């Protein structure tokens, strides 16, 4: 059994790992730490939840511990690029945590918060800077930061960077980095475009992978319920009321969809909070904190906002809307069943999402178990509090007198309304391309 001791990490890190109660390295840590300690470049395929943050943070901190010295002014010795603010904040916290017995300065740079504080933080230089690409370039343009001092460059979640259109900014960052450096490149999936990107940054890298690119987390119990779009709010409310849920993460495809689910749940007496790109950084942080410390058990999120978020004890993931990119499904359900726990991933599939489901099943090579609608679904729906029928949301306000007012609040979009037939009549029968 390999332990952290045998990996040869320096004393302050072993102490920090002991304090955290980590006994054994995870597979990605086992594979990545030794070559990174040897100074090699690394190309890693690993999802969040595998322990990949420590896989790059520990050997990088070890390098700093063994090569102590002041960071150059207005620069950083280690630069980590992350696609989202939340993930950047989380990675910075991990560095602080693992480096707590070292002299270490860690700063973050991401949008949504005033830039001045970040400029001040960088004046004297920092050991570790965790940044999102846009704000990093802003700081460089304002001459608050240069990258000449970077000795280790970590690019995390490369596939997500690409999805978010960060390729040009990343290439600009790359052009500013010193040629002499160590580069660690991580991605949950490694399609050709990402591999090509990695090839531009890496020199003779060691390749490590903890799971085939699109393997679904093994300990997650996955199921799908076929349900009409307009029935989804009721199904979610019933599921959240009925199951023993410690913490649930509910995914929607759009920001407005996330807000709508919060309102619908609130109308049924179920408190929930949302995070997505239209929320201010302060709102996102507050919502995430409430979810982390258990004050709110239900977090509604879009893919981008939730990517990489590490909250332990997420018992359920609900795919309220199926993702149109099948890889996102893998990322979503990776939020549950962490660190040895079991998890449950429930997908709600409307008729026009069947094609998405097919893509997901093809990618994961898992045929999802079908969970039928609850026996008494129609009666249960009737017994739910009528969601705020008297208070149309400002963005949904329509002329009065439209028939089917009770359904208006369920978020059904125009194209769903057009569909005729009794609730649930389509079940299992309709096949539409998504």
What is the closest distance, in whole angstroms, from the C-beta atom of residue 87 to ligand AMP in the complex? 9
Per-residue tokens: 371: 């969970």
CB of 197 to ligand AMP, least distance (A): 21
Q: Of residues 254-313, which lie at the interface with ligand AMP (CB under 6 A)?
A: 310, 312
Compare residues 5 and 312 and give the one whose CB is closer to ligand AMP.
312
Of 19-27, 243-251, 284-292, 402-410: span binding ligand AMP (CB under 6 A):
19-27
Question: Cβ 312 to ligand AMP, closest distance in Å?
Answer: 6
**In terms of CB distance, is 24 or 289 closer to ligand AMP?**
24
Q: Compute how many residues bind ligand AMP; rule: CB under 6 A.
A: 16
Residue spans of beta strands (DSSP E) within 229-363: 248-252, 273-275, 298-302, 316-319, 343-349
Q: Which stretch binds ligand AMP (CB under 6 A): 43-51, 191-199, 293-301, 399-407?
A: 43-51
Long-range contacts of 373-381 (CB under 8 A, 24+ apart): 373/225, 373/226, 373/227, 373/231, 373/235, 373/424, 373/427, 374/238, 374/242, 377/231, 377/234, 377/235, 377/238, 377/424, 378/423, 378/424, 380/234, 380/238, 381/231, 381/234, 381/238
60 counts as binding ligand AMP under rule CB under 6 A: no
Applying the rule CB under 6 A, the residues between 412 and 431 that interact with ligand AMP are none
- Residue 51 interacts with ligand AMP (CB under 6 A)? yes
Task: Give the residue at shortest CB distance from ligand AMP.
Answer: 53
Q: What is the token pair recorded at 27?
A: 């597979």
For residue 247, which of 343, 376, 134 has the smallest C-alpha distance?
343
Residue in 53, 182, 187, 315 binding ligand AMP, rule: CB under 6 A: 53
* Measured CA distances, 324 to 38, 47, 137, 337, 355 (Å): 41, 19, 30, 23, 9
Min CB(289)–ligand AMP separation in Å = 16
In the set 54, 147, 188, 299, which binds ligand AMP (CB under 6 A)?
54
> Is 83 a residue that touches ligand AMP (CB under 6 A)?
no
Could you give phi then psi for residue 275, rounded to 5 degrees? Answer: -125, 135
Helix (H) or strand (E) holding 304: helix 303-306
- 364 near ligand AMP, judged by CB under 6 A: no
Q: Tell which one of 12, 14, 25, 230 touches ligand AMP (CB under 6 A).
A: 25
List the one residue from 14, 31, 48, 350 that touches ligand AMP (CB under 6 A).
48
Beta strand spans in 247-306 (E)? 248-252, 273-275, 298-302
Locate 321 and state its tokens.
Answer: 């809307």
- Of 166, 110, 159, whose CA–CA distance to 308 is shortest? 159
Q: By CB under 6 A, tell whether 71 contacts ligand AMP.
A: no
Binding residues for ligand AMP, rule: CB under 6 A, are 22, 24-26, 29, 48-54, 310, 312, 338-339
């Amino acid at each position: 059994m390999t332990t952290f001791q045998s990996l040869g990490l320096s004393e302050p890190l072993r102490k920090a790992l002991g304090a955290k109660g980590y006994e054994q390295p995870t597979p990605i840590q086992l594979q990545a730490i030794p070559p990174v300690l040897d100074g090699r470049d690394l190309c890693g395929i690993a999802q969040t939840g595998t322990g990949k943050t420590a896989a790059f943070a520990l050997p990088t901190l070890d390098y700093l511990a063994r090569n102590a010295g002041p960071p150059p002014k207005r620069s950083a010795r280690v630069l980590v690029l992350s696609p989202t603010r939340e993930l950047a904040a989380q990675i910075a916290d991990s560095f602080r945590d693992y480096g707590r017995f070292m002299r270490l300065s860690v700063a973050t740079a991401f949008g949504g918060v005033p830039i001045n504080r970040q400029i001040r933080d960088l004046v004297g230089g920092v050991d570790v800077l965790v940044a999102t690409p846009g704000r990093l370039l802003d700081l460089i343009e304002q001459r608050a930061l240069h990258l000449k001092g970077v000795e280790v460059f970590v690019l995390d979640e490369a596939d997500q960077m690409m999805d978010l259109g960060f390729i040009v900014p990343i290439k600009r960052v790359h052009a500013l980095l010193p040629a002499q450096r160590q580069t660690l490149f991580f991605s949950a999936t490694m399609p050709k475009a990402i591999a090509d990107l990695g090839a531009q940054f890496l020199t003779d890298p060691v390749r490590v992978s903890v799971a085939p690119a699109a393997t679904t987390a093994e300990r997650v119990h996955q199921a799908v319920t076929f349900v009409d779009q307009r029935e989804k709010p009721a199904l979610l409310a019933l599921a959240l009321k009925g199951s023993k849920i410690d913490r649930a993460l509910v995914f929607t495809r759009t920001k407005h969809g996330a807000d709508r689910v919060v309102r619908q749940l609130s109308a049924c007496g179920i408190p929930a909070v949302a995070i997505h790109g239209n929320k201010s950084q302060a709102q996102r942080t507050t919502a995430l904190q409430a979810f982390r410390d258990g004050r709110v058990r239900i977090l509604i999120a879009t893919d981008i906002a939730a990517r990489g978020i590490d909250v332990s004890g997420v018992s359920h993931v609900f795919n309220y809307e199926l993702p149109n990119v099948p890889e996102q499904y893998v990322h979503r359900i990776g939020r549950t069943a962490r660190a040895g726990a079991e998890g449950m991933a429930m997908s709600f599939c409307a008729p026009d999402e069947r094609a998405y489901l097919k893509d997901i099943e093809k990618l994961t090579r898992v045929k999802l178990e079908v969970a039928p609608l609850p026996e008494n679904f129609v009666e249960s729906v009737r017994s739910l509090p009528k969601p705020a029928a008297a208070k149309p949301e400002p963005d949904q306000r329509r002329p009065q007198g439209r028939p089917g007012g009770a359904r208006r609040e369920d978020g059904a979009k125009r194209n769903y309304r057009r569909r005729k037939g009794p609730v649930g009549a389509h079940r299992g029968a309709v096949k539409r391309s998504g």
